A and B are shown apart, each in its own frame.
Chain A
């Protein structure tokens, strides 16, 4: 009975149709492009705004400026102090978040249809006309310094900092976007204005709008919201090679469970083999309970609560990375098993059954991502940033289906290099030799 029903479901999975979302492309009178999905059933609107470049645009000697500037956008603008601004925002029940990453500044917003004009006016004021008051600067600076101090004692942050520094050296990817105690302490209001002008410009802008609004209304809305930003920002950072050779780095830290961050050079997002690599990674370490690493390290041996791997195609470098944590006495064994699985996938590839299971999962899971206004807006803005067309949403599963066993195993052999794997381990691991 069980088997029958399972077989039935597997046989229909490939043909399952799903309600396609209707993406409309809009260009405003002033030339701002956006993707729009009209979803009038709930009376609110989600706007996702991204600026390419992000914290990697910090000027020389000003590390942490873009991050601090982004934190200050909601801390006073126009004629309003931070407290007045937040009081007004709360009264509208609008939600704004401003976040810097290595490659982007992200502005995520949700606001009610009823008061959308007032919410947009407030958001515009914050984006276009932040005041960077000295009070606010000092207050948020203290928060950033506390976060820097906290990272210095957090095993995962210690591992990331060491890995990034060794892999990328003086490129912005080699240091934390928070900056250092020294660089952050030296930042001034002028630095904030510079970072704002450098990073928030229309030549690097991507927008998606989902919710209770018509596509016709989006253009004028965006011109009012973003039209007064400068047309051009500073040049993008240069690309950088992954510079970390295979080996093991051990950083002594007194904590019961050692954490390991590992990886090597990866693959660009526009590589024709990207989908093969994506499926390979799914089977190797990204597939939750179903992945080979989870099976071998957790399910069979009980060495960890979780292990996972990621393809990380950033804008200026690409990696395949993984993380695992295990007690100091067992981390060496967890690393051995991980290396062995890396080599097994590279040498022998995967089976036809594994490929089929990964494809059914990935094609079945994809439509489930589109189930909320903010989720859809985030997906759409992410697609724009990597030059995918709206039709990708419809075609994406076909790209997955088109990958053959030969493709995936050829890519596994080329991408996975067990000798290039570098493990940065933070803790007090037993029986683990550092290389140098």
Chain B
């Protein structure tokens, strides 16, 4: 063991948290640009992120942000339906898009010398989409099949939808990204066009270019293709309904015969990373790791999977990347013969004991080391780095916040963790969800 500790000391001394090579600037029309250099391979990732997601949708039109994402692959004034992806593919690249609560993003991964073509096409579809009622019909069926595949066929996903709807009483994080099925079925051309015309604008977008590129060259191209698009004067301030003070804990039991392993998950409202104020979020990253990060070393894993052997699986999770109030979750899947009531009681005992006891300094050191190392490993994946910036900048954070985050994580103390835990573990702001195959199992 001595040898291991000696090695540990070396890491702590040797690995200063270092920011990747990122260059940032803003075009005259308000479009933000981030360039990350990685010259190991002649590849580029080109991403445009819009500060618009499912939580920005109008009431009654859930799923429209994601539906529009699909429609952006249809025709524009110069591109035929499907031609965007066909051209990317014919140049050896791949492309796709994704929608979340807070953003919608489009990306291509391609040989670095094709960047100009990508910018030309992506800037074209920012303003010139020419979709028809026919496109709407077929593609609506596609998103309904996507919902079938991701959610209707998946009892865990259906349960999560119910729990999240109960956790958020007023905020749109309670509505699924893909949409409620009955509202998806009613989405029409006008819904998507209204959304597109207002929000797909350079002053509502972030360009991230990562890979074998020079910032000056990227800037010149960005000015040529994106810089000429006028800013949207009518772009509204991003104000969304927030949670009221929550005053009562909620309990939900989801019953589905397709469930094979019963489990429970409790989610609490939790603070997110905010501009210039990321310390509470950083402490919550530690809290999740200490409570349920690894089955072998976390408090829940040690107590329930090893010492008492009453759980098959335990977990605690926290993301922190969110524009508005986030959540912190703990979960337990009981071992055979253990009821959910017993598992939940045992889980609460562990949480209470954690709050009473001192945090082991060796665990703190280990988590700090792993967080430093994850920055080293992250440099091997430039697309992941690009996503980090895109997500942050569409969720109100700044480039400085992104680059400060590793240091904020390193400075978390035991006292910070206890303070944020005391604040978050408030059952009045929580939902406890049980997932079972029958009512008889819900005991």
Q: Which positions in A face B, CB cutoff 8 Å?
A: 2, 5-6, 9-10, 12-13, 16, 18-19, 39, 41-44, 82-83, 85-88, 90-93, 95, 110, 112, 114-115, 117-118, 121-122, 139, 142-143, 146, 149-150, 152-155, 254-257, 259, 287-290, 295, 298-306, 325-327, 357, 360-368, 370-374
Contacts and interface: CB of A to CB of B under 8 A. Distances in A.
Given A82-B296, A91-B4, A92-B11, 20 more contacts: A16-B111, A41-B40, A86-B294, A87-B296, A88-B4, A93-B372, A114-B14, A115-B8, A121-B3, A139-B309, A150-B261, A255-B153, A256-B152, A288-B85, A289-B73, A325-B145, A326-B145, A360-B90, A371-B40, A371-B41
B120 A5 contact: yes
Interface stretch (B23-31, B374-382, B392-400): B374-382
A118 B7 contact: yes
Contacts of B377: 44, 95, 110
Contacts of A325: 145, 148-149, 153
A112 B73 contact: no
A305 B138 CA distance: 11
3 residue pairs, one from A and one from B, having the closest CB atoms: A364-B92, A302-B141, A93-B373
Interface string B365-377: 1100110111011
A19 B141 contact: no
Interface stretch (B47-55, B252-260, B349-357, B413-421): B252-260
A420 B16 CA distance: 60
Contacts of A327: 144-145, 148
A305 B142 contact: yes
A6 B306 contact: no
Contacts of B124: 2
Contacts of A6: 87, 117
A256 B297 CA distance: 40
Q: Is the interface of A mostly helix, strand, loop or mixed?
A: helix
Interface of B: 1, 3-5, 7-8, 10-11, 14-15, 40-43, 73, 78-79, 81-82, 85-87, 89-94, 109-111, 113-114, 116-117, 120, 124, 137-146, 148-149, 152-153, 257-261, 294, 296-297, 302, 305-306, 309, 312-313, 333, 335-336, 362, 365-366, 369-370, 372-374, 376-377, 379-382
A290 B92 contact: no
Q: Is the interface of B mostly helix, strand, loop or mixed?
A: helix
Given A6-B117, A9-B114, A363 B92 contact: yes
A12 B145 CA distance: 39
B179 to A, nearest CB: 14
Contacts of B296: 82-83, 85-87
22 contacts: A2-B78, A2-B120, A2-B124, A6-B87, A13-B92, A43-B376, A91-B5, A93-B11, A93-B370, A95-B377, A110-B377, A114-B11, A143-B313, A149-B261, A254-B258, A255-B153, A303-B145, A305-B142, A305-B143, A305-B145, A327-B148, A364-B110
